[in-house]
Protein backbone atom coordinates (compact mmCIF):
# COMPACT_ATOMS: atom_id res chain seq x y z
CA UNK A 1 0.00 0.00 0.00
CA UNK A 2 1.23 3.44 -0.89
CA UNK A 3 0.41 5.72 1.97
CA UNK A 4 1.96 8.83 0.45
CA UNK A 5 -1.28 10.10 -1.08
CA UNK A 6 -4.96 9.36 -1.52
CA UNK A 7 -4.68 7.70 -4.93
CA UNK A 8 -5.08 3.96 -5.35
CA UNK A 9 -4.36 4.07 -9.10
CA UNK A 10 -1.88 6.37 -10.83
CA UNK A 11 -1.39 6.54 -14.60
CA UNK A 12 1.37 8.66 -16.10
CA UNK A 13 1.80 9.23 -19.85
CA UNK A 14 0.29 5.81 -20.59
CA UNK A 15 0.64 4.61 -24.20
CA UNK A 16 -0.57 1.36 -25.74
CA UNK A 17 -1.00 0.01 -29.28
CA UNK A 18 -2.37 -3.07 -30.98
CA UNK A 19 0.15 -3.46 -33.77
CA UNK A 20 0.17 -0.23 -35.75
CA UNK A 21 -3.09 0.95 -34.23
CA UNK A 22 -2.56 3.41 -31.38
CA UNK A 23 -5.17 2.94 -28.64
CA UNK A 24 -3.86 5.06 -25.75
CA UNK A 25 -1.74 8.10 -26.57
CA UNK A 26 -0.73 9.53 -23.22
CA UNK A 27 -3.30 8.95 -20.49
CA UNK A 28 -2.74 10.66 -17.14
CA UNK A 29 -5.16 9.80 -14.36
CA UNK A 30 -5.48 9.56 -10.58
CA UNK A 31 -8.18 7.41 -8.99
CA UNK A 32 -8.88 8.35 -5.38
CA UNK A 33 -9.24 5.63 -2.76
CA UNK A 34 -12.82 4.85 -1.84
CA UNK A 35 -14.29 6.50 -4.92
CA UNK A 36 -16.34 5.20 -7.83
CA UNK A 37 -14.92 6.39 -11.13
CA UNK A 38 -16.69 5.92 -14.46
CA UNK A 39 -14.64 5.68 -17.66
CA UNK A 40 -16.83 6.71 -20.57
CA UNK A 41 -16.22 6.78 -24.30
CA UNK A 42 -17.37 5.35 -27.59
CA UNK A 43 -16.73 1.72 -28.51
CA UNK A 44 -13.08 1.00 -29.26
CA UNK A 45 -11.69 4.07 -27.48
CA UNK A 46 -9.57 2.02 -25.05
CA UNK A 47 -11.81 1.76 -21.97
CA UNK A 48 -11.47 -2.01 -21.51
CA UNK A 49 -7.80 -1.81 -22.49
CA UNK A 50 -7.23 0.35 -19.41
CA UNK A 51 -8.65 -2.43 -17.22
CA UNK A 52 -6.35 -4.98 -18.84
CA UNK A 53 -3.36 -2.72 -18.18
CA UNK A 54 -4.38 -2.28 -14.55
CA UNK A 55 -4.72 -6.05 -14.14
CA UNK A 56 -1.39 -6.74 -15.83
CA UNK A 57 -2.81 -8.71 -18.77
CA UNK A 58 -1.27 -6.09 -21.05
CA UNK A 59 1.92 -4.04 -20.77
CA UNK A 60 2.09 -0.38 -21.80
CA UNK A 61 4.32 0.64 -24.70
CA UNK A 62 5.33 3.71 -22.72
CA UNK A 63 4.47 5.35 -19.43
CA UNK A 64 3.68 3.94 -16.01
CA UNK A 65 0.71 2.57 -14.13
CA UNK A 66 0.74 2.07 -10.36
CA UNK A 67 -1.83 0.26 -8.23
CA UNK A 68 -1.59 0.41 -4.44
CA UNK A 69 1.92 1.84 -4.76
CA UNK A 70 3.25 -0.88 -7.09
CA UNK A 71 4.20 -0.43 -10.74
CA UNK A 72 2.09 -3.16 -12.34
CA UNK A 73 4.21 -3.88 -15.43
CA UNK A 74 7.43 -4.13 -13.37
CA UNK A 75 6.13 -6.95 -11.14
CA UNK A 76 7.26 -10.55 -11.60
CA UNK A 77 4.71 -13.35 -11.83
CA UNK A 78 4.52 -13.83 -8.08
CA UNK A 79 4.17 -10.12 -7.40
CA UNK A 80 1.47 -9.74 -10.04
CA UNK A 81 -0.41 -12.73 -8.62
CA UNK A 82 -0.36 -11.17 -5.15
CA UNK A 83 -1.54 -7.81 -6.50
CA UNK A 84 -4.40 -9.45 -8.39
CA UNK A 85 -5.65 -10.95 -5.13
CA UNK A 86 -6.44 -7.37 -4.14
CA UNK A 87 -8.58 -6.86 -7.25
CA UNK A 88 -12.11 -7.96 -8.03
CA UNK A 89 -13.40 -8.12 -11.59
CA UNK A 90 -16.95 -8.18 -12.89
CA UNK A 91 -16.76 -9.24 -16.52
CA UNK A 92 -19.07 -7.91 -19.22
CA UNK A 93 -20.65 -11.33 -19.81
CA UNK A 94 -20.55 -12.41 -16.17
CA UNK A 95 -17.85 -15.03 -16.65
CA UNK A 96 -19.44 -17.60 -14.34
CA UNK A 97 -18.29 -21.21 -14.50
CA UNK A 98 -21.23 -22.90 -16.21
CA UNK A 99 -20.66 -26.33 -14.63
CA UNK A 100 -20.48 -24.98 -11.07
CA UNK A 101 -23.38 -23.97 -8.87
CA UNK A 102 -23.79 -20.38 -7.73
CA UNK A 103 -22.33 -21.38 -4.37
CA UNK A 104 -19.26 -23.02 -5.91
CA UNK A 105 -18.67 -20.07 -8.23
CA UNK A 106 -18.24 -17.85 -5.18
CA UNK A 107 -16.37 -20.47 -3.17
CA UNK A 108 -13.83 -20.99 -5.96
CA UNK A 109 -11.67 -17.88 -5.36
CA UNK A 110 -11.82 -18.47 -1.59
CA UNK A 111 -10.69 -22.08 -1.96
CA UNK A 112 -7.94 -21.18 -4.41
CA UNK A 113 -6.52 -18.16 -2.62
CA UNK A 114 -7.05 -18.76 1.09
CA UNK A 115 -6.56 -21.46 3.72
CA UNK A 116 -10.02 -20.94 5.18
CA UNK A 117 -11.97 -23.94 6.40
CA UNK A 118 -15.00 -25.15 4.44
CA UNK A 119 -17.44 -24.13 7.20
CA UNK A 120 -16.05 -20.59 7.14
CA UNK A 121 -16.10 -20.50 3.32
CA UNK A 122 -19.73 -21.63 3.46
CA UNK A 123 -20.66 -18.73 5.74
CA UNK A 124 -18.70 -16.17 3.72
CA UNK A 125 -20.31 -17.28 0.45
CA UNK A 126 -23.79 -16.95 1.91
CA UNK A 127 -22.90 -13.52 3.31
CA UNK A 128 -21.72 -12.29 -0.11
CA UNK A 129 -24.81 -13.68 -1.81
CA UNK A 130 -27.01 -12.09 0.83
CA UNK A 131 -25.39 -8.73 0.06
CA UNK A 132 -26.64 -8.96 -3.54
CA UNK A 133 -30.02 -10.42 -2.59
CA UNK A 134 -29.40 -13.97 -3.86
CA UNK A 135 -28.68 -16.07 -0.78
CA UNK A 136 -31.69 -18.22 -1.65
CA UNK A 137 -30.25 -19.00 -5.10
CA UNK A 138 -26.99 -20.57 -3.92
CA UNK A 139 -27.90 -24.06 -5.21
CA UNK A 140 -28.88 -22.86 -8.69
CA UNK A 141 -26.73 -23.35 -11.79
CA UNK A 142 -25.69 -20.36 -13.95
CA UNK A 143 -27.84 -21.52 -16.88
CA UNK A 144 -30.90 -21.29 -14.63
CA UNK A 145 -30.30 -17.63 -13.79
CA UNK A 146 -31.76 -14.60 -15.52
CA UNK A 147 -29.35 -12.08 -16.98
CA UNK A 148 -29.78 -9.74 -14.03
CA UNK A 149 -29.32 -12.54 -11.50
CA UNK A 150 -26.16 -13.78 -13.24
CA UNK A 151 -24.75 -10.25 -13.14
CA UNK A 152 -25.47 -10.06 -9.39
CA UNK A 153 -23.73 -13.40 -8.79
CA UNK A 154 -20.75 -12.10 -10.75
CA UNK A 155 -20.74 -9.02 -8.53
CA UNK A 156 -20.84 -11.17 -5.40
CA UNK A 157 -17.88 -13.18 -6.71
CA UNK A 158 -15.96 -9.96 -7.43
CA UNK A 159 -16.16 -9.02 -3.73
CA UNK A 160 -15.47 -12.55 -2.44
CA UNK A 161 -11.90 -11.77 -1.35
CA UNK A 162 -12.70 -8.28 0.02
CA UNK A 163 -10.54 -6.54 -2.61
CA UNK A 164 -9.07 -3.05 -2.56
CA UNK A 165 -10.25 -2.44 -6.12
CA UNK A 166 -13.27 -3.67 -8.08
CA UNK A 167 -13.36 -3.25 -11.85
CA UNK A 168 -16.61 -3.42 -13.80
CA UNK A 169 -16.52 -3.98 -17.56
CA UNK A 170 -19.84 -2.78 -19.04
CA UNK A 171 -21.90 -3.87 -15.99
CA UNK A 172 -25.15 -2.49 -17.42
CA UNK A 173 -24.96 -4.00 -20.92
CA UNK A 174 -27.98 -6.04 -21.99
CA UNK A 175 -29.98 -5.55 -18.79
CA UNK A 176 -33.62 -4.58 -18.54
CA UNK A 177 -34.32 -1.25 -16.76
CA UNK A 178 -35.15 -2.87 -13.41
CA UNK A 179 -32.08 -5.16 -13.35
CA UNK A 180 -29.92 -2.26 -14.52
CA UNK A 181 -31.10 -0.08 -11.66
CA UNK A 182 -30.52 -2.93 -9.18
CA UNK A 183 -26.91 -3.42 -10.37
CA UNK A 184 -26.20 0.32 -10.31
CA UNK A 185 -27.48 0.66 -6.75
CA UNK A 186 -25.52 -2.42 -5.65
CA UNK A 187 -22.29 -0.96 -7.03
CA UNK A 188 -22.85 2.20 -4.99
CA UNK A 189 -23.97 0.43 -1.83
CA UNK A 190 -21.22 -2.19 -1.81
CA UNK A 191 -18.53 0.38 -2.57
CA UNK A 192 -19.57 2.46 0.44
CA UNK A 193 -20.11 -0.52 2.76
CA UNK A 194 -16.81 -2.22 1.94
CA UNK A 195 -14.70 0.91 1.57
CA UNK A 196 -13.30 -0.24 -1.78
CA UNK A 197 -12.38 1.71 -4.90
CA UNK A 198 -14.40 1.02 -8.04
CA UNK A 199 -13.73 1.56 -11.74
CA UNK A 200 -16.78 1.35 -13.99
CA UNK A 201 -16.15 1.08 -17.72
CA UNK A 202 -19.38 1.81 -19.54
CA UNK A 203 -21.14 3.69 -22.30
CA UNK A 204 -24.34 4.01 -20.25
CA UNK A 205 -24.23 7.67 -19.33
CA UNK A 206 -27.49 8.09 -17.44
CA UNK A 207 -26.95 5.22 -15.00
CA UNK A 208 -23.29 5.86 -14.37
CA UNK A 209 -23.85 9.52 -13.54
CA UNK A 210 -26.38 8.48 -10.88
CA UNK A 211 -23.94 6.38 -8.85
CA UNK A 212 -20.35 7.46 -9.54
CA UNK A 213 -18.28 10.16 -7.89
CA UNK A 214 -16.00 11.06 -10.79
CA UNK A 215 -16.25 10.75 -14.56
CA UNK A 216 -13.48 10.37 -17.14
CA UNK A 217 -14.16 10.75 -20.87
CA UNK A 218 -11.72 9.14 -23.32
CA UNK A 219 -11.54 9.90 -27.03
CA UNK A 220 -8.85 9.32 -29.62
CA UNK A 221 -6.52 7.79 -27.04
CA UNK A 222 -6.49 10.64 -24.52
CA UNK A 223 -8.65 12.00 -21.72
CA UNK A 224 -10.70 14.82 -23.20
CA UNK A 225 -12.68 15.70 -20.05
CA UNK A 226 -12.89 14.65 -16.41
CA UNK A 227 -14.44 15.83 -13.21
CA UNK A 228 -17.07 15.19 -10.53
CA UNK A 229 -20.25 13.69 -11.96
CA UNK A 230 -22.32 16.72 -10.95
CA UNK A 231 -20.01 19.03 -12.90
CA UNK A 232 -20.12 16.82 -15.99
CA UNK A 233 -23.91 17.07 -16.14
CA UNK A 234 -23.71 20.83 -16.61
CA UNK A 235 -20.45 21.22 -18.55
CA UNK A 236 -20.38 22.95 -21.93
CA UNK A 237 -17.46 20.81 -23.16
CA UNK A 238 -18.51 19.93 -26.74
CA UNK A 239 -17.32 16.31 -26.52
CA UNK A 240 -19.11 15.68 -23.23
CA UNK A 241 -22.27 17.39 -24.46
CA UNK A 242 -22.32 15.27 -27.64
CA UNK A 243 -21.85 12.10 -25.59
CA UNK A 244 -24.37 12.97 -22.88
CA UNK A 245 -27.01 14.25 -25.29
CA UNK A 246 -26.47 11.54 -27.91
CA UNK A 247 -25.97 14.07 -30.71
CA UNK A 248 -24.87 12.81 -34.11
CA UNK A 249 -22.90 15.97 -34.88
CA UNK A 250 -19.91 16.99 -32.81
CA UNK A 251 -16.25 16.18 -32.11
CA UNK A 252 -16.94 12.43 -32.36
CA UNK A 253 -16.92 11.66 -36.07
CA UNK A 254 -19.43 9.25 -37.58
CA UNK A 255 -17.03 8.09 -40.29
CA UNK A 256 -13.90 6.09 -39.40
CA UNK A 257 -10.78 7.78 -40.89
CA UNK A 258 -10.56 6.94 -44.59
CA UNK A 259 -9.22 8.02 -47.96
CA UNK A 260 -11.43 10.14 -50.25
CA UNK A 261 -14.40 8.17 -51.58
CA UNK A 262 -13.37 8.91 -55.17
CA UNK A 263 -9.98 7.32 -54.55
CA UNK A 264 -11.54 4.20 -53.02
CA UNK A 265 -13.79 3.79 -56.08
CA UNK A 266 -10.94 4.44 -58.50
CA UNK A 267 -12.81 7.18 -60.32
CA UNK A 268 -11.04 9.02 -63.17
CA UNK A 269 -9.00 11.96 -61.97
CA UNK A 270 -8.81 10.77 -58.37
CA UNK A 271 -5.44 10.73 -56.59
CA UNK A 272 -3.75 7.36 -56.04
Which residues are CB-contacts of 179 (< 8 A; sequence separation ≥ 6)?
Answer: 146, 147, 148, 151
In the structure, how many helices (H) and strands (E) does the chain have?
Answer: 10, 10
Q: What are phi and psi of 108, to 5 degrees?
A: -55, -55
The pLDDT of residue 257: 62
213-219: average pLDDT: 91
With respect to residue 16, please indicate whether it lies within any of the assigned structural domains: no
With respect to residue 5, please indicate whether it lies within any of the assigned structural domains: no
With respect to residue 30, please indicate whether it lies within any of the assigned structural domains: no
With respect to residue 25, please indicate whether it lies within any of the assigned structural domains: no
The pLDDT of residue 4: 44
The pLDDT of residue 122: 96
Specify the DSSP class assigned to residue 74: G
With respect to residue 100, please indicate whether it lies within any of the assigned structural domains: yes
With respect to residue 75, please indicate whether it lies within any of the assigned structural domains: no
What residue numbers bound the domain in which 164 lies? 35-57+87-252
116-172 residue pLDDT tens: 999 999 999 999 999 999 999 999 999 999 888 998 999 999 999 999 999 998 888
14-26 residue pLDDT tens: 999 988 888 999 9
The pLDDT of residue 124: 95
Domain count for the chain, please give it: 1
Using only C-alpha atoms, the chain has a radius of gyration, in whole angstroms, of 21
Look up the CATH number of the domain holding residue 239. 3.40.50.300
The torsion of the CA quartet 137, 143, 147, 149, rounded to 10 degrees, works out to: 10
With respect to residue 244, please indicate whether it lies within any of the assigned structural domains: yes
This prediction's pTM: 0.83
CA 253 distance to own-chain centroid: 25
**Bigger pLDDT: 259 vs 125:** 125
With respect to residue 162, please indicate whether it lies within any of the assigned structural domains: yes
- In angstroms, the CA 36 to CA 30 distance is 12
Cβ neighbours, 10 Å, residue 1 = 10
Amino acid sequence: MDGTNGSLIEMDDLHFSYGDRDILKGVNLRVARGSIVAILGVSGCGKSTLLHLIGGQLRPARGRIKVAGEVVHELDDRGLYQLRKKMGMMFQVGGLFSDMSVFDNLAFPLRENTDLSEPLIHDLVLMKLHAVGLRGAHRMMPNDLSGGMARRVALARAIALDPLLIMYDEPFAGLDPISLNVIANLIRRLNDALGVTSLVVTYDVSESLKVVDYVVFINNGVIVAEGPSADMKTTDNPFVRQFLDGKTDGPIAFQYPHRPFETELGLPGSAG
